Structure 1
Amino acid sequence: MTPAAFEHPPVAAILALGVTQIIGYGTLYYSFSILAPDMARGLDWSQEWIFGALSAALLIGGLVAPAMGKWIDRFGAGRVMTSGSAIAAAALAACALAPGKIAFVIALIAIETASNLVQYAAAFALLVQTQPRLAQRSITYLTLIGGFASTIFWPITTTLHAHLSWQNVYFIFAALNLLVCLPIHAWLAHSAGDTGTREKAGATRRVEPGLPAAARTPAFVLMVTGFALESFVNAALLVHMVPVMSALGLGAMAVMVGTLFGPSQVLSRFINMVLGGGLPQLTLAIISAMLLPTALVILLVTAPSVAGALVFAVIFGLGSGLSSIVQGVLPLALFGSDGYGQRQGKVISARLVVSSTAPFALAFLIGNVGISWSLTITAMLGTVAVAAFLAIRRLMRTSAPAEVALARGEP
């Protein structure tokens, strides 16, 4: 039996991280769409400009993500997340206090930059640094908990906003990051530091790369391409899901269909936790990538059928939920635990840069070529993501025999 078979996932760390991920995604991301109309009125902006500012902030956050990855490898994910909680709290407060549009945009950029320091990428790195051999299982458990962020924070934000201004809601969210997330991250940083000391005494806990050295660079490019295209499809459809289904003739049923997306995300993570333990991570990546264009094709072929739209929402949610897991575990399986943070920073950068353009790109396509062609093009991009992951599998099969031959001195 492998050493990992005698180890147990860090349950306390996973539960604690689950709390901070729910708060992190809920306060820094999911709350924005609910508060945006009030923000627009207060700043005398249109909602289009408010969401444009969010896209710009996401883009800049993506550009600085590689630096975040280097900090994680150098200082430890726990320390980075502790600092990130303080920055997130300050950025939320600054956004609430912003006297005008320029100050608001600067604070929004700070919020999205802080997001990179406290959300999944950093949390995955902390689990890898704590117990590398158990990180794949731990990441699955964490994404299952984090999947409830929208379910919890959409109603919380709506309820708070019914009685408070968006500024006061942001002050409350700043306090959550400062008083709940920061102490948890500080505790995790201390625990990870102790574990790191033990790691130096036993290098056997490292996860070795699953790829031959010659295949790693092209495989990394293919992996980043696949993740970026998946993120594009996800981001485009999440923002436009209800309008797209309404345009396809579903009318008032579009909102009800859209509510199935979140539970389907959680369901996919639960199924993977129970049944996916023996599944290779690259196979999981291929499955998750295939589900997204498949869902779009079903929507196109069956519209305006409500049953077809329900199937679309469930399958799309399943693919999106699996994708969150894959983005944490596939880099670990292919490239090992050394330098994990830096690789995650590059992956996050590519994903955010591409996905920040997705809502605008799909809106532009719908306005110029119509809803059916727009969804067809989006499905084709999702298919390219599948091809990228399949190419990694082929690379693994062709590179391994070549490396063995080289080691033997054969031509």
Structure 2
Amino acid sequence: MRAGQRGRRLMQILTERSDVRAWSDIAALGLTQIIGYGTLYYSFGILAPAMARDLGWPEEWVFGALSIALLTGGLIAPWSGRWIDRFGAGRVMTAGSVTAVLALAVCAAAPSGFTFLPALIAIEIASTMVQYGAAFPLLVQRHPRTAQRSIVWLTLIAGFASTLFWPFTSWLHGFMSWREVYIVFAALNLMLCVPLHAWLSRPAEADPKTLRAGQPASDPPESPQGSVAPANRRTAFILMAAAFAFQSFVSSAVLVHMLPMLGSLGLGVIGVTVGALFGPSQVASRLINMIFGRNLSQLILAAVAAALLPGALVLLTLTAPSIAGAMAFAVLFGMGNGLYSIVGGTLPLALFGADGYGRRQGQIMSVRLIVGSVAPFAFALIMHQLGIHTALGMSAGLGFCAVAALAMVAVLLRRTAMPASTASAVP
């Protein structure tokens, strides 16, 4: 009896320690994701006009340089995914943070556009190594049994990146040049992200559930398996990647052209107000999912996210120039985009499991970045040549194509479900 009580007490202590480790990892990653997205992505739109004046470029050239950098990052992303599987996500994120520090410093010191462009490309390469595409695999590698829950919590924390860094960047730029702001950002990455990512590179400790099953502590914990049968994984992955690509087009195009788009619909006066609803709506959707969507299938959640984006565009088109309609659009679009960030990490895990997760995330990130780099230009071209309503209609059509692709994945799962003996539930 006493031995049994001591055993149960030991397992309780190990479980509590495991939970503490998981939450500490999520908190550390949450901080680095806020800094990573804030310094490497959200700040650019605020600083771009000053960059253009300083470099003697038209402002369009600066955003064109960003598109080239995003495209390059998309081409590099599959390599990053393979590095994550081979060397561990923590080490890759540490190297990415060091790269971000150097790239921000070089960009700040760039005397001309010929130096600025390679530095901007280096920033986007670093982004693929430190943002969600690497953070999600880190949670899967360190906490495979609870990775899905951890990803949801991480996206909730990181969702405050725009809310914090848009005003923070504007405040800094009020008394600093864009070059000085980038030096501050380099210092943030050096003093916070580099040591935190190095700390997250430490070996994962044994899982108490694994010890309870009698597995030696030196063995890695069992990884969750996916719900797609091996023979159908290629088809399912292509359909899932296509759905993410369609959503990436809609999200990137609309977010970049939010204010001009609203202006073309006669809503330019309230454009800033409408935009302000987007960030809180993203966070709200993640919080609602955390509270009420615990037992919801990740495929269904992905379909809901995919439907909200084009649904919001249809609502905006039908109600413009209604202020209430524009505000409803911002809320729905923000919620869809917030859920899109979650399922980008949880759906591949649910469908294909943890093995090779880093490689798959790299491939998905590649598709999203490449499509996202082209989308703003394509949307602007359609808007100017064929009109705003045509641009919105075509974007909504692509959004509904994402829903159709996910529905095809669901049909594939129902027709060829894995035997219960070979599939295990994803937590």
- TM-score, normalised to structure 1, is 0.94
**Where do 1:195-344 residues align within 5 Å?**
201-202=218-219, 205-344=222-361
Residue 204 (structure 1) shift: 5.3
> For 2:86, which of 74, 92, 95 is the aligned residue?
74
Comparing 249-258 and 133-142, the one that deviates more: 249-258
Q: 1:264 to 1:202 in 2, by over 3 A?
A: same
RMSD of aligned residue pairs (Cα, Å): 2.0
CA shift in 2, pair 1:224/1:243, >3 Å: same
CA contact (8 A) 2:206 2:221 kept: no
Relative to 1, partners in 2 of residues 1:141 and 1:342: Cα closer, same or farther, differing over 3 Å? same
Aligned residue in 2 for 1:102: 114
Report the Cα distance in structure 2 between the residues aligned to 1:28 and 1:298, rounded to whole angstroms: 32
Q: SS state of the match for residue 218, structure 1? A: helix
Kindly state the Cα deviation for residue 8 of structure 1 after the two structures are TM-superposed.
Answer: 3.6
Q: Which residue of 2 aligns with 1:392?
A: 409
Deviation, 1:267, is 0.3
Query: Among 165, 186, 206, which residue is 1:174 paired with?
Result: 186
Task: Give 1:192 shift.
Answer: 3.7
Q: 2:37 aligns with which of 19, 25, 38?
A: 25
Q: Distance in 1 between matches of 2:356 and 2:19?
A: 23
Matches within 5 A, 1:40-55: 40-55=52-67
Correspondence for 2:7 = none
Structure that is richer in helix per residue: 1
Deviation of residue 203 (structure 1)?
Answer: 5.4
**1:354 and 2:371 correspond:** yes
Q: Deviations over 1:172-202 (max 9, x none)?
A: 1001111110000011111448789x99845
The superposition leaves residues 285-334 of structure 1 with CA deviations (integer Å, 9 ceiling, x where unpaired) of: 00000000100000000111000111100000000000000000000000
Q: 1:150 aligns with which of 162, 170, 173?
A: 162
Q: Which residue of 1 aligns with 2:151?
A: 139
Inter-partner Cα distance in structure 1 for 2:350 and 2:173? 43
* Partner secondary structure for residue 211 of structure 1: coil
Q: Could you list the runs of 5+ residues in structure 2 that have no partner in the other structure? A: 1-14, 421-427
Aligned to 1:407: none
Name the structure 1 match of 2:9: none
User: For residue 170 of structure 2, what is the amino acid of its counterpart?
Assistant: T
> What's the secondary structure of 1:338's corresponding residue?
coil
Cα distance change of structure 1 residues 399 and 199 upon mapping to structure 2, 3 Å threshold = farther
One-letter amino acid matched to 1:21: Q
Alignment match, 2:23: 11
Contact 1:126–1:192 (Cα < 8 Å) also in 2: no
Q: How does 1:180-199 map to 2 (within 5 A)?
A: 180-192=192-204
CA contact (8 A) 2:73 2:125 kept: yes
Amino acid at match of 1:309: A
Q: Measure, in 2, the Cα distance between the counterparts of 1:249 and 1:184.
A: 47
Partner of 2:131: 119
Residues 354-398 of structure 1: CA deviation (Å, up to 9, x unaligned):
110011000000011101111000000000000010000000011
Q: Deviations over 1:150-189 (max 9, x none)?
A: 1101111111111111111100100111111000001111
TM-score by length of 2: 0.90
Displacement after TM superposition at 1:251 (Å) = 2.8
CA distance, structure 1, for counterparts of residue 188 and residue 90 of structure 2: 18
Cα deviation digits, residues 75-102 of structure 1 (max 9, x gap): 0000000111100000000001112111
Distance 2:65 2:216 in 1: 43
Large movers: runs of 4+ above 3 Å: 5-9, 191-196, 198-204
AA at the equivalent of 1:54: L
Distance change >3 Å, CA 308–CA 43, structure 1 → 2: same
Give, in angstroms, the shift of residue 214 of structure 1.
1.4
Q: Tell me the number of residue pairs that the alignment of Structure 1 and Structure 2 aligns.
A: 400
Report the counterpart of residue 85 of structure 1 in structure 2: 97
Relative to structure 1, is the Cα distance of residues 194 and 174 closer, same or farther in structure 2, using a 3 angstrom cutoff? Answer: farther
Q: 1:327 to 1:200 in 2, by over 3 A?
A: farther
Provide the rounded CA distance (Å) in 2 between the counterparts of 1:271 and 1:43.
45
Is there any run of 5+ residues in structure 1 with no aligned partner, and where? 405-411
Q: Which amino acid aligns with 2:239?
A: L
Give the aligned residue type for 2:188: L
Secondary structure of the equivalent of 1:249?
coil
Q: Residue deviations 1:2-53, cap 9 Å, x none? A: xxx9974711110110000000000000010111011000100011000000
